[in-house]
């Protein structure tokens, strides 16, 4: 009697569980990375979020970076650059099959480099984000879901979307007990 091969054995490999970066008490005087992936409206949404954060905490510095290829994980050079240039990083916008997955994996990679992140993907890609988080050893990794789509929003709608997201992004970036009390 032959044994039927389980073709999914690679999936069962033990992945090292990842750790979250320690959170600051507030964003005061911190460098906030806006790491956009070149998807349509991604830079615009992150800029609008950056403006909202600046309104709450004028002492922050916004640092803009652009991902080389949205469908692939960021390069290690870019990860090192983000680590050197930013204290916290907002990653987005994952609004497609490949880029929602890599936004989550980039976020996990930055957390393991001790950079607190807020990863923004659109809600239709939740299952995809959850699957990649599990593959990366961080099945509960919290990402922030914006209503899909983002790509078709105009400037006023982007502003509104940023307003809806900013509290959740702030909560994700700073110590949970302090979020909301301070920017």
Partner 1 sequence: MTAGVDTDVVVDPDATRAGIEHVFAMGWSDGLPTLPATDEHVAEFLAHTTRDPDEVIATIPQLGKSATVRHAAVGAAMAGCAPEYFPVVLAAWDALGGEKPAQGGGWQSTSSPSPMLVVNGDIRNRLGFNSTGGVLGPGFRPNATIPRAIGLTISNIFGIRPHVLDQGTQGVPGRWQMCVAEAEEDSPWEPLSVELGHSPGADALSTVMVRTTEFLDNRYYTSAEEVLLDFADSVRRTGSWIMRHSAVGLLLNPEHAWLFADAGYSKQDVRDWLYENAVRTQADLRAVGKEYAVGTGHPDDEVHHVLADSSPASIPIVVAGSRNAAMSAIFRVFTTWSGRVVPIG
Q: Residues interacting with partner 1, by CB under 8 A? A: 2-8, 10-11, 40, 69-73, 96-102, 105, 125, 127-128, 131-132, 135-136
- The whole-angstrom separation of Cα 68 and Cα 152 is 22
- The whole-angstrom separation of Cα 90 and Cα 32 is 7
Q: How far is the CB of 142 from partner 1 (least distance, A)?
A: 19
Output 5 or 84, the one with its CB closest to partner 1: 5
Q: How far is the CB of 164 from partner 1 (least distance, A)?
A: 24
Burial 71-98 (b: 16+ CB within 10 A, else e): eebbeeebbeebeeebbbbbbbbbbbee
Structure tokens at 5: 């091969």
Output 24 or 137, the one with its CB closest to partner 1: 137
Rg for the chain (alpha carbons), in Å? 17
Q: How far is the CB of 60 from partner 1 (least distance, A)?
A: 30
Q: How far is the CB of 22 from partner 1 (least distance, A)?
A: 25
Output 90 or 96, the one with its CB closest to partner 1: 96
Structure tokens at 77: 């050079």
Strands across the sheet containing 61-66? 61-66, 31-36, 88-94, 117-122, 144-146
Angle at 115 between CA 111 and CA 119, to 5 degrees: 65
Output 78 or 131, the one with its CB closest to partner 1: 131
Structure tokens at 167: 């509290």
Output 88 or 101, the one with its CB closest to partner 1: 101
Q: How far is the CB of 110 from partner 1 (least distance, A)?
A: 15
- The whole-angstrom separation of Cα 81 and Cα 65 is 9
DSSP code, position 1 = -
Output 40 or 56, the one with its CB closest to partner 1: 40
Q: How far is the CB of 119 from partner 1 (least distance, A)?
A: 14
């Amino acid at each position: 009697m032959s044994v039927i091969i389980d073709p999914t054995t690679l999936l069962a490999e033990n992945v090292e569980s990842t750790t979250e970066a320690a959170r600051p008490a507030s964003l005061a005087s911190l460098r906030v990375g806006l790491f956009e992936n070149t998807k349509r409206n991604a830079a615009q949404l992150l800029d609008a979020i950056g403006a909202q954060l600046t309104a709450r905490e004028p002492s922050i510095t916004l640092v803009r970076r652009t991902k080389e290829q949205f469908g692939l994980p960021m390069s290690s050079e870019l990860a090192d650059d983000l680590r050197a240039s930013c204290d916290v990083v907002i990653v987005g916008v994952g609004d497609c099959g490949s880029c929602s997955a890599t936004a989550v994996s980039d976020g996990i990679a930055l957390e393991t480099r001790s950079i607190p992140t807020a990863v923004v993907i659109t809600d239709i890609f939740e299952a995809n984000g959850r699957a990649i988080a599990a593959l990366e050893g961080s099945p509960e990794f919290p990402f922030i879901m914006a209503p899909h789509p983002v790509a078709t929003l105009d400037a006023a709608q982007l502003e509104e979307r940023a307003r809806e997201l900013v509290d959740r992004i702030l909560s994700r970036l700073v110590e949970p007990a302090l979020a909301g009390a301070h920017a």
